[in-house]
Amino acid sequence: MNTRKVTSALALCLAMALGVSACGGSGGSKASGKKDQALTSIVNASTKKGGTVTADHSSGPDSLDPGNTYYGWVQDFSRLYARTLLTFKPAAGKAGLTVVPDLATGLGTSSPDAKTWTYHLRTGVKFQDGTPVTSKDVKYAIERSNFAPEVMSNGPVYFKSYLADDASYQGPYKDKSANGLASIETPDNQTIVFHLSKPFADFDYLATFSQTAPVEQSKDTGATYVQHIQSTGPYKFASYSEGKGATLVRNPEWSKATDPIRTALPDKYVLKFNINQRTIDNDLMANNLTVDLQGTGVEAETQSKILGNKNQLSHTDDAIAGATSYMALNLHVAPFDNIECRKAVQYAVDKTSVVNAEGGAVKGDVASTLLPPSVNGYTKFDEYPTAGNNGDVAKAKAALAACGKPNGFTTTLTARSDRQPEVDGATAIQAALKKVGITVNIKTFPSDKYFSNYAGVPDYVHSHDVGMMMMAWGADWPTGYGFLDQIVDGGAIKPSGGNNLMELNDPKINQALASAISNTDAAARTKAWGDIDKMVMQNASVVPLIYRKNLLYRPSSATNVTVTQAYLGMYDFLLMGSSK
């Protein structure tokens, strides 16, 4: 399958098997498909090489460096230039949740106790400069991304948390020894072995992260590596401009013979950052743009236009994002160090008004749990029920009295300035809390700096009395652990770029997470995730708001369009092409 040339006839068979709406083997159908068709099939299928994919974003990435990112859309998009040990299968529907080999020849081989994991790399894979990729390059990539927070601050630290000798290792920029991290062995150029301090049953999911994309140590310049990323995928950077955009072109050192996953049909990708969301929406509807990189759907004004137009509606997919929008209450900012004050907010928030402010039912359903229904381990419950999800003033005031603030208090709520629905949701919360005497001052910041400079920086949060923060989170991988760990485990609290915005560090929750992921019994793990979700909600530091959906728009020139649940219900950038 690695080297087979796809013929038009074969493409037709594949298309029929996947249930796609049209085959464009000779060049990209103009058919737009039907509403929600890309949720389970491939729309506007094509096998034609060529064309330019144009992609805009209302803000920009935290970083396009595969080792320094935590944004879902970057994880999705980076697969075009950064191959990882494993990845999610580029396919329609549930098949897109399947983990498949990428750089590796197969899935990981685990010891019986799930503490040792071994992968074997394909031969013949090269960097864009022609240098062969080795297991040492994968090891170095993990060392720089997980053990150098002074340089790589944005990504998760799962490897650091689970590798056996993380305590003494200072990262490759400080530790100049030839051996590096002892818990990752590279006995030969094609083998990499991970030795963990404790069992980790989900390790194959971790191997899909962009942090396992190899990096040549001789080419690494730390924080500025993003300016000259060395590609291992079918595309390389022709240009990159911070805050403005990037252009990717074909990488001549990539070979289909070593890559059974990527079709690499487009000739070029042109990315633009900091484009007004309304402009992006209008360009999509005018067929002047291939895709919105952010993947969170059109804004409210555009949505209202689309919902009243049958033709425009046929271009949309109301994708379940596998994500929850919530408000984090910081446990170290008064008065939220008092659980009764946190409960007051739980009861005061009018969740129905938040859903309506953010776009109504098409944008999602009222949430009562942190885990969304689409994630393994979800259990339906509500610790703070109110009639019609409209808030309960009496219960909120009783909680305020219990926390010693009968007349309310003043606090700050942050939101992302380029995500208007999130700002609108914050405004709805502000109005609801005013009814019980809580004054909310809203501060907004751009998405690309939200975690690295503001909400994800404890020093900033504490010094500016930021008690509440708008947040949206999707699973790092589709299990309860993949959803919960980085937002509720105390070990995930970081000096900057953090996602545990509550700064929740409850020993019982930490231990429950560690015990569950160590359990090789899948059914027991699944039950544990729901139990941990209840523990978090009983702490009252998270106010669930919306189980998110995103109204995505696919223009008629976009080909091979399908939604991937592996990347938060956005379009699969690895498959998408353009007839232009």
Residue 42 lies in a domain: yes
Q: Is residue 16 pLDDT above 90, yes or no?
A: no
For 156-180, the pLDDT digits (tens) are: 889 998 999 767 899 999 998 888 9
How high does pLDDT run on average in the chain? 92
- CA dist., res. 496 & res. 515, Å (int): 27
Residue 366 lies in a domain: yes
- CA dist., res. 578 & res. 559, Å (int): 5
Q: Which amino acid is at 263?
A: T
Position 33 scores a pLDDT of 84
**Residue 465 φ then ψ, to 5°:** 50, 45
Position 165 scores a pLDDT of 74
Residues 292 and 335 in one domain: no
Token pair 């090269």 in the structure block, residue: 126
Residues 334 and 309 in one domain: no
Residue 161 lies in a domain: yes
Residue 323's nearest CA partner among 276, 390, 277, 378 is 378
**Residue 298 φ then ψ, to 5°:** -75, 160
Token pair 């993003």 in the structure block, residue: 226
- CA dist., res. 311 & res. 37, Å (int): 14
- Estimate the crossing angle of helix 507-518 against helix 522-539, to 10 degrees: 170
Residue 102 lies in a domain: yes
Position 27 scores a pLDDT of 36
CATH of the domain at 117: 3.40.190.10
Q: Is residue 423 pLDDT above 60, yes or no?
A: yes
Position 520 scores a pLDDT of 84
Residue 385's nearest CA partner among 400, 398, 366, 404 is 366
Instruction: Tell me if the bond preceding 101 is cis, omega within 30° of 0.
Output: no
Token pair 């080419």 in the structure block, residue: 219
For 519-545, the pLDDT digits (tens) are: 888 899 999 999 999 999 999 999 999
Residue 12 lies in a domain: yes
- CA dist., res. 137 & res. 231, Å (int): 12
Q: Is residue 30 pLDDT above 70, yes or no?
A: no
Using only C-alpha atoms, the chain has a radius of gyration, in whole angstroms, of 23
Q: What is the mean pLDDT of residues 37-55?
A: 97
Q: What domain range includes position 203?
A: 86-227
Q: What is the mean pLDDT of residues 365-379?
A: 94
Q: Is residue 483 pLDDT above 90, yes or no?
A: yes
Q: Is residue 6 pLDDT above 50, yes or no?
A: no
Residue 32 lies in a domain: yes
Q: Label the pairing between strands 364-366 and 542-553.
A: antiparallel
Residues 439 and 325 in one domain: yes
**Residue 78 φ then ψ, to 5°:** -65, -15
Residues 310 and 326 in one domain: no
Q: What is the mean pLDDT of residues 442-465?
A: 96
Is 348:540 a contact under the CB 8 Å cutoff? no
For 64-82, the pLDDT digits (tens) are: 999 999 999 999 999 999 9
Residues 26 and 113 in one domain: no
Q: What is the mean pLDDT of residues 274-284?
A: 97
Position 345 scores a pLDDT of 98
Position 32 scores a pLDDT of 60
Q: Label the pairing between strands 191-195 and 235-241.
A: unpaired
Final residue before a domain boundary, out of 227, 257, 285: 227
* Other CB atoms within 10 Å distance of the CB of residue 130: 8
Q: Is residue 111 pLDDT above 70, yes or no?
A: yes
Q: Is 373 exposed, middle or buried (0-12, 13-18, 19+ CB in 10 A)?
A: middle
Q: Is residue 11 pLDDT above 60, yes or no?
A: no
Q: Which amino acid is at 250?
A: R
- CA dist., res. 498 & res. 246, Å (int): 26
What does 449-462 look like in DSSP terms, one character per residue?
HIIIIITT-HHHHH
Q: Is residue 365 pLDDT above 60, yes or no?
A: yes
Q: What is the mean pLDDT of residues 100-120?
A: 97
* Other CB atoms within 10 Å distance of the CB of residue 129: 12
Is 61:48 a contact under the CB 8 Å cutoff? no
Position 542 scores a pLDDT of 98
Q: Is residue 138 pLDDT above 70, yes or no?
A: yes
Instruction: Tell me if the bond preceding 335 is cis, omega within 30° of 0.
Output: yes
Is 559:46 a contact under the CB 8 Å cutoff? yes
Burial of 298-309, coded b for 16+ CB within 10 Å and e otherwise, reads bbbebbeebeee
Q: State percent of the chain over pLDDT 90.
A: 86
- CA dist., res. 125 & res. 118, Å (int): 19
3-state secondary structure of 280: helix
Position 23 scores a pLDDT of 38
Position 166 scores a pLDDT of 66
When divided into structural domains, the chain yields a total of 3
Residues 337 and 434 in one domain: yes
What does 149-204 look like in DSSP terms, one character per residue?
TTT--SS--HHHHHBTTTTT---TTT---SS--TTEEEEETTEEEEEBSS--TTHH
Residue 65 lies in a domain: no
Is the pTM higher than 0.85?
no
In the chain, what is the greatest distance between 2 CA atoms, to the nearest angstrom? 73
Strand order in the sheet with 109-110: 109-110, 116-120, 191-195, 184-188
Q: Is residue 306 pLDDT above 90, yes or no?
A: yes
Residues 468 and 568 in one domain: no
Residues 413 and 546 in one domain: yes
Residues 538 and 564 in one domain: no
Identify the helix (H) or strand (E) that includes residue 470.
strand 466-474
Position 478 scores a pLDDT of 86
Residue 95 lies in a domain: yes
- Estimate the crossing angle of helix 507-518 against helix 480-488, to 10 degrees: 150
Q: How confident is the model at residue 4 (pLDDT cuts 50, 70, 90)?
A: very low
Position 179 scores a pLDDT of 87
Residues 369 and 302 in one domain: no
Residues 412 and 288 in one domain: no
For 494-512, the pLDDT digits (tens) are: 999 999 999 999 999 999 9
Q: How confident is the model at residue 202 (pLDDT cuts 50, 70, 90)?
A: very high
Residues 452 and 369 in one domain: yes
- CA dist., res. 206 & res. 203, Å (int): 5
